[in-house]
Structure 1
Amino acid sequence: MRTFKITISLFSLLILASCSNEQEITSYRGKVKFETISVSSKLAGRIHKLYIAEGDEVKKGDTLAFLDIPEISAKMMQAEGGIMAARGQYNMANAGATTEQLIQIDRKLDAARAELQFANESYSRLDNMYKDSLITRQQLDEVNMKLQMARSQVAALEAKREEAGKSARTEQLDQARGQLDRARGAKEEVLTASQEMYLLAPADMTIETISLKEGELLSPGYALVNGYKKNSVYFRFTVNESRIYDFEQGSELLMINPYTNEEITGRIAYIKQLPKYAEITSTAPMYDLAESVYELKVVPTSKTSGETYYSNATILIKE
């Protein structure tokens, strides 16, 4: 009996201790946030090499990944062939064709036919990829357009071969000059696209997640790397409408880190209403379901170090 009374007493003491240590629930709980950055590619390619890992700190301009895009080499060959063909056509239109130029035209015609064959093969390959839902309809249409351009180029060279001995008109000279300029522009476009093989950091950032591994296919617009700027810390609070009038945009707030007791001053950057399904950072039972919910973005004004904060850690408004 005595043992039973001692047990009851100890249990009561534990309950009282737990009650005394219970922290007061506040509706002004917020989260630490950082400005996020996503890095993607404009072209589809296979990830050949990753130079970063999750948690790494990188500087603006650092190489994050190298993509294998074989189509770029093929397009460069096509662009070089197009320039050569356009230059030959312009020279022939300007001075009239000689025996050597006729031979050159024949070689260009052979090159154009080879490009046409390559374009046919490329279209067939991408058509199969489209059927397997690996590429979009727009990408297939672009390849089809290049195929039609290759056919047109062959037809144009064949026609030029027949007219090589005739004297050129002014209109023909202008046309030949325009084709040469267009071919040069196509080469510049390929050179610009080749820069997409290297994914570079757009700013000083911390790598948070890497969505794909080496050897996997990266689709256009798909975010390969997600991260955030360490020097872009801010605090996000959600407040119900019955308390929102206690705050004013541009006013100063005093906040506290509940784990380090560090006090931080900040300025309310904006106040905006949130949809019903939005994330609420404060304790859910403090809200009436009929009330609207508002978001406060608070930018620190006191000297802070982003290294001392962790994303989504709790921050409190000191009342």
Structure 2
Amino acid sequence: MRANKILAVLALLILVAILAYGVKLAFAPQPVFLQGQIEAREYNISSKVPGRIEQVMVRKGDKVAIGDILFSIDSPELAAKLMQAEGGRDAAKALQLEADNGARQQQITAAKEQWLKAKAATELMQKTYQRIENLFNEGVVPRQKRDEVYTQWQAAKYTDQAAYAMYQMAQEGARVETKAAAEGNARMAEGAVKEVSSILADSQMRSPKNAEVSEVLLQAGELAPSGFPVVSLIDMNDAWAVMQIREDQLAQFKQGTVVALRIPALDQTVDFTVEYVSVMGSFATWRSTESGHDFDMRTFEVLLHPNQPIADLRVGMSVLYQQAAK
């Protein structure tokens, strides 16, 4: 009988202890979790060259390094334009070379011979005039004859001067202005070739980063408009966490603050640094406060970057921040 009483008392004490522990748990502050997600830098790789996809060298999930070829585009029209530009460049360079070199040696020799011929004719006409002048002074020939011979002598002198000028021009070559114009045309033609070549270089698109292929939007044989993304890359080395924080909790996320975030998918807790807090609250996401004051709670976007690389991190993974309940 006494043993039964002792057992009853013990049972009562255990029940009271359980009830007391339950009351303690009920009134104890519960942890509050703020949830966000992982995002990363994305690159949409497109080409300035419109054309048909010749080959896609990557698949979704492939890891690529800087400079790896992602895809190539076949553009016969650009190849034809390059041929035209190269032909124009060759022609312009030939004209520039002609202007720099001046007349050919045969042309210079011919000009010199024409000048010597005119010079000899001038000397002959000068001697003829002297003879006619003497005969005129003796009264043998009339004034008209003397004047005609004089005119022929002067005309021969002018022909001599013109032939000498042509000879000098042949020796000197093209004018400075002509050479400058030829040089300018050659540079312009070279620029046209470089322009088309640079566009053609864009027909083979390379990776700008060490990244992972997230999407392949076009395949070989399909037409790719200019600027249309063909391959999308995600750089997980440039990842961050995004959280939407209510304004009454924003004091815990000042810029530069280090906070510990739990990543359930990796079963890790990692330190992140607050690097950006939105300068404007969101008016689309709010809730009414439970205090006696009648005003709305806004949310602010907060970006946090990990303090160390995180292996196997993926875009969309959840991050949790635990804070004590008020």
- Normalising by structure 1, report the TM-score: 0.62
Please report how far the alpha carbon of residue 57 of structure 1 lies from its aligned counterpart in structure 2 after TM superposition: 1.0
- Find the counterpart in structure 2 of residue 175 from structure 1: 181
SS in 2 for 1:28: strand
Q: Which amino acid aligns with 1:50?
A: V
SS in 2 for 1:242: helix
- Find the counterpart in structure 1 of residue 252 from structure 2: 246
- Find the counterpart in structure 1 of residue 82 from structure 2: 76
For 1:212 and 1:61, the matched residues in 2 are separated by 20
- Given the alignment of the two structures, is residue 201 of structure 1 paired with residue 213 of structure 2, yes or no? no
Correspondences of 1:9-20 after superposition (within 5 Å): none
Q: Which amino acid aligns with 1:46?
A: R
What do you get for the CA RMSD once the two structures are aligned? 2.9
Q: Which amino acid aligns with 1:80?
A: E
Q: Do the aligned partners of residues 208 and 186 (structure 1) sit closer, same or farther apart at CA in structure 2, a change above 3 Å counting?
A: same
Q: Which amino acid aligns with 1:198?
A: Q
Q: Do the aligned partners of residues 204 and 277 (structure 1) sit closer, same or farther apart at CA in structure 2, a change above 3 Å counting?
A: farther
Give the total of aligned pairs: 223
- Find the counterpart in structure 2 of residue 214 from structure 1: 220
- Find the counterpart in structure 1 of residue 38 from structure 2: 32
Please report how far the alpha carbon of residue 274 of structure 1 lies from its aligned counterpart in structure 2 after TM superposition: 5.6
For 2:287 and 2:62, the matched residues in 1 are separated by 38
Please report how far the alpha carbon of residue 312 of structure 1 lies from its aligned counterpart in structure 2 after TM superposition: 0.8
- Given the alignment of the two structures, is residue 59 of structure 1 paired with residue 61 of structure 2, yes or no? no
For 1:316 and 1:265, the matched residues in 2 are separated by 12
For 2:60 and 2:302, the matched residues in 1 are separated by 30
Query: Cα deviation per residue 1:139-173 (whole Å; 9 max; x = unaligned)?
Result: xxxxxxxxxxxxxxxxxxxxxxxxxxxx7433222
For 1:43 and 1:176, the matched residues in 2 are separated by 32
SS in 2 for 1:206: strand
- Find the counterpart in structure 2 of residue 310 from structure 1: 314
- Given the alignment of the two structures, is residue 44 of structure 1 paired with residue 21 of structure 2, yes or no? no
- Given the alignment of the two structures, is residue 188 of structure 1 paired with residue 194 of structure 2, yes or no? yes
**What 5-or-longer segments of structure 2 have no aligned partner?**
1-29, 107-172
Query: Cα deviation per residue 1:27-85 (whole Å; 9 max; x = unaligned)?
Result: 61000112222212122222110011111111111110011122221122112211222
- Find the counterpart in structure 2 of residue 155 from structure 1: none
Q: 86-95 or 242-251: which moved more?
A: 86-95
- Find the counterpart in structure 1 of residue 9 from structure 2: none
For 1:205 and 1:32, the matched residues in 2 are separated by 16
- Identity score, percent: 25
Query: Cα deviation per residue 1:89-114 (whole Å; 9 max; x = unaligned)?
Result: 23444424799xxxxxxxxxxxxxxx
Q: Given that residues 273 and 292 in structure 1 are in contact (C-alpha distance below 8 angstroms), is that contact kept between their aligned partners in structure 2?
A: no
For 1:226 and 1:25, the matched residues in 2 are separated by 40
Q: Do the aligned partners of residues 286 and 211 (structure 1) sit closer, same or farther apart at CA in structure 2, a change above 3 Å counting?
A: farther
Q: Given that residues 288 and 297 in structure 2 are in contact (C-alpha distance below 8 angstroms), is that contact kept between their aligned partners in structure 1?
A: no
For 1:211 and 1:286, the matched residues in 2 are separated by 44
Q: Which amino acid aligns with 1:62?
A: D
Query: Cα deviation per residue 1:199-223 (whole Å; 9 max; x = unaligned)?
Result: 1011111111122222222222222
**What 5-or-longer segments of structure 1 have no aligned partner?**
1-23, 100-166
Query: Cα deviation per residue 1:244-268 (whole Å; 9 max; x = unaligned)?
Result: 1232110110111234542111111
Specify the structure having the higher radius of gyration (Cα): 2
Query: Cα deviation per residue 1:174-228 (whole Å; 9 max; x = unaligned)?
Result: 2112111211222222222221111101111111112222222222222221121
Q: Given that residues 263 and 317 in structure 2 are in contact (C-alpha distance below 8 angstroms), is that contact kept between their aligned partners in structure 1?
A: no
Q: 28-37 or 285-294: which moved more?
A: 285-294
Q: Given that residues 38 and 319 in structure 2 are in contact (C-alpha distance below 8 angstroms), is that contact kept between their aligned partners in structure 1?
A: yes
Query: Cα deviation per residue 1:237-296 (whole Å; 9 max; x = unaligned)?
Result: 111222212321101101112345421111111111467488x7xxx8799994332111
- Find the counterpart in structure 1 of residue 300 from structure 2: 294
SS in 1 for 2:219: coil
